[in-house]
Chain A
Amino acid sequence: MRLERLEALLWERIDGTISAENQVELEAYLAEDLEARELDQELTALAKRLAGVREVAPPTALRERIDQALAAAQQPASAAAPSALTPRRTVDGWGPRLFALAAALFLGVAIGHLLHLGAGRPVDVMKAAGTMHEPTSREAPPTVEIDLGSGVGLAMTRRDGSTISVELVLAGDGRVEAVMEAANDNLRIVGLHQDGSAPIEVTAAGERVVMGVIGPGSFGIEILSGTEAAPVRLSVSAGGEVLAERWIDPSSKAVQP
């Protein structure tokens, strides 16, 4: 039997699509040929490895983003049709579309003004309409996403006054450490949550809180600073290498490591 046919039949057997006739032929060949049996073992092991790749829990921020984007998508529909959630099957022609577009632009500009009042900055309508990462409401403090690199995952931070939330969404299996540090202020842990299988290790000592986790999964910590204005710095590292550093504050300004 040619190698290519052997491999095709082995995969058919693994997939469960092999015909009875081909199965008989394959089994007979495997019984006689050692190399064919080795290839069989190798492909079976590869299929098991692939099927055994663990699911990654979606970041909790994803649902928030979807809800915001759907809410933004509903706005023009509500301007053009009685039901906000009814898709725009009755909207025909350019007139209603232009009206819907104008309504969306107006909404974007209005939200933009709320977000950037007095700042004199141009408004990104797409961001203001909630289709990008930032939330649309002034009441909801922004969630800042920090890419930790390909294969590692994402860190997300949010600060609402003295309450600081940090979430690590990890795709890989390695250990990642997040250090939250305040200058001249005490930090206190008020909450922990996780979707991963490994436990969260935390240590807190005055100005410094350390969260150590092993992915994959999402792991969150909530801490309180003594004062609302206290600057808190986040540093995320893995294997001794710093992956990201950032101040966690409502304006979410980035800093160089």
Chain B
Amino acid sequence: MTRDDDTMLVKACLQGDQTAFDQLVDRYEGTLFNATYRITGSVEDAMDATQAAFVNAYEKLHTFNPSHRFFSWIYRIACNQALNLVSRRRPEAELDLDTPANGGDPEAAFGEAEAGGFLQRALMELTPQYRVVVILKHLQGLSYREIGELLEIPEKTVKSRLFTARQRLRSILLEKGFVP
């Protein structure tokens, strides 16, 4: 999939091609679902955010600037939807990250806990603004520039936010005795 392909599909959709937007959904449904799932920590919220992103993008397609990447545009919409859901949600119940059942071996504990979605739970302990940069950088593999474009913040801010987020994530892991 290329930027040009996306631009052509957007153009076709604006000209009334009923299948063009379906192809964009095919391309990005999985990526958007994964990103929003990691941000919200909830399958249901991720489904809501992904659905809302596609509908918003469809309704505002005429405002899309073809000099930008469609993927970046819809990805930003989805991330914002997910962050909005997280901010509206009541505070999470205390996460139970203590007491690994491993006989005191931190290495083994990390392996076991990670198998149960431990990293996801540790990520959920970060505030949304820190969580999202870690997700975009490490789980989605985006560059500082791409993250900056998505979140509409300068690259320098991405870098400093990411630095703090990684420090906090590491201290969450260390506090619980899990050394990667």
Choose from B33, B58, B114, B173 the contact partner of A56 (Cβ within 8 Å). B33
Interfacial chain B residues near A8, Cβ < 8 Å: 163
**Number of chain A residues whose Cβ lies closer than 8 Å to a Cβ of chain B:** 48
Would you call B14 and A151 a contact (CB within 8 A)? no
Given the known A-B contacts A11-B166, A83-B16, A150-B42, are A73 and B33 also in contact in the complex, defined by CB atoms under 8 Å?
no
Is A17 an interface residue, CB under 8 A from the partner?
yes
Interchain pairs with CB closer than 8 A, number? 132
Interfacial chain A residues near B4, Cβ < 8 Å: none
**Which of A24-32, A85-93, A112-120, A228-236 makes up part of the contact surface?**
A85-93
Interfacial chain A residues near B60, Cβ < 8 Å: 87
Specify the chain A residue showing the minimal Cβ separation from B137: A15
Is A7 an interface residue, CB under 8 A from the partner?
yes
Given the known A-B contacts A46-B180, A70-B54, A87-B60, are A56 and B44 also in contact in the complex, defined by CB atoms under 8 Å?
no
**Which of A59-67, A176-184, A246-254 makes up part of the contact surface?**
A59-67
Specify the chain A residue showing the minimal Cβ separation from B144: A17
Would you call B33 and A62 a contact (CB within 8 A)? yes
Q: How far is the CA of A245 from the CA of B9 in the complex (A)?
A: 44
Specify the chain B residue showing the minimal Cβ separation from A63: B29
| Beta-carbon contacts under 8 Å, B81-124 to A | 92, 114-117, 119-121
Choose from B29, B59, B116, B144 the contact partner of A62 (Cβ within 8 Å). B29
Contact string against A for B residues 145-180, beta-carbon threshold 8 Å, 1 for contact and 0 otherwise: 000000000000000001100110110010000011
Would you call B58 and A73 a contact (CB within 8 A)? yes
Would you call A53 and B170 a contact (CB within 8 A)? no
Given the known A-B contacts A58-B30, A85-B13, are A49 and B62 also in contact in the complex, defined by CB atoms under 8 Å?
no
Choose from A43, A65, A150 the contact partner of B51 (Cβ within 8 Å). A65
Q: Give me 7 A-to-B residue pairs in the complex whose CB atoms sit less than 8 angstroms apart, sorted by A's number.
A: A50-B139, A51-B141, A57-B30, A59-B43, A85-B17, A85-B18, A147-B43
